[in-house]
Structure 1
Amino acid sequence: MKRLLLFAVAGGAGFLVDAGVLALLLHMTPLGPLIARIGAIAAAMLFTFWLNRTFTFGRSDRSLAAEGARYGGVGIGAALINYAVYSAIVLAFPALWPVFALAIASAIAMLWSFLGYSRFVFGPSSPSK
C-alpha cells in the first residue's frame, strides 16, 4: 500500500510538471494544445522516472540504461493512452480547458503505468540474468 501511495504522489508531482509545462508552452509559444502536450509529456516522464526510481520502487538490479529503456517503453505506452484520451476530449470539447482534459487522461493511464513500472521496470529481473 505504501508503494501505491508513493506512486500516486510521484504521479501527482508528474501531473504538476505536465500541467505546468503545458500551460507554459501554451502561454509562451504559438504551439496549440496537441503539439504543446508532447513536450509536457516528455518533461513529466523524465521527472517521474527519477521520483519512481529514487522513492517509489527503488533501483532494480538492471543497469540504469536497461531500467531507463524499460521505463521509457512503459511510459510511452501510458503516454499514448494518455495522449489519445486527451486528444479525443480536446477535439470533442474544444471550449474545455486543456488542463481538465489532461487530468482525465492522466487518471486513465495511471493503472497501466503502475502495473508496468512495478512488474516490468523495477520488479525482479528474469532468472536468466
Structure 2
Amino acid sequence: MTAYWNALFGGLLIGVSAVLLLIANGRVAGISGIVGRLLAGQRVLDNGAFVLGLVLGPLVFAGLNGSLPAMTISASWPWVMLAGLLVGFGTRMGSGCTSGHGIIGLARFSRRSLAATVMFLAAGILTASLMELVQ
C-alpha cells in the first residue's frame, strides 16, 4: 500500500489545485489552454505562474525525496517529439486536453468532457495495444 502514497497525494494535489483555480479565477486547469494563452501573451502573470509551478513541482519533489522517481523512455527523441506535436494537435482539435476535460470537465458533469475523456482513454488503450503487437 505504501507504494501508492505518492500517487494518491499527487492526485489529491492536482484535484485541489484545479478546484482552487476554478473557484479563485473561474478558469479551468486545462494545460493546453493555459499554455496557449501564455504563448499568445494573455494573462501572462496567471498563466506563467501556473506553468512555472508545473516546472518547479518535480524539483520540489526531488528536494523532498532526495531524487526523482525512476523513469525510462524507450522511444528515440524524434518519436518523443512527434508524439508531443500530435498531442498538441489533438488538444486543439478536441478543444482541450486530458487535464481540462478529465479533471474539471468530468467534475462539472460536462457531456462533452465525458465524450472527450472516453476518446482519450480509447485511443490510449488502442495505441498501447498496437505498440505491444508491433514490438
Q: TM-score, normalised by structure 2?
A: 0.35
Q: Which has the larger radius of gyration?
A: 2
Structure with the bigger RCO (C-alpha within 8 Å, sep 6+) is 1
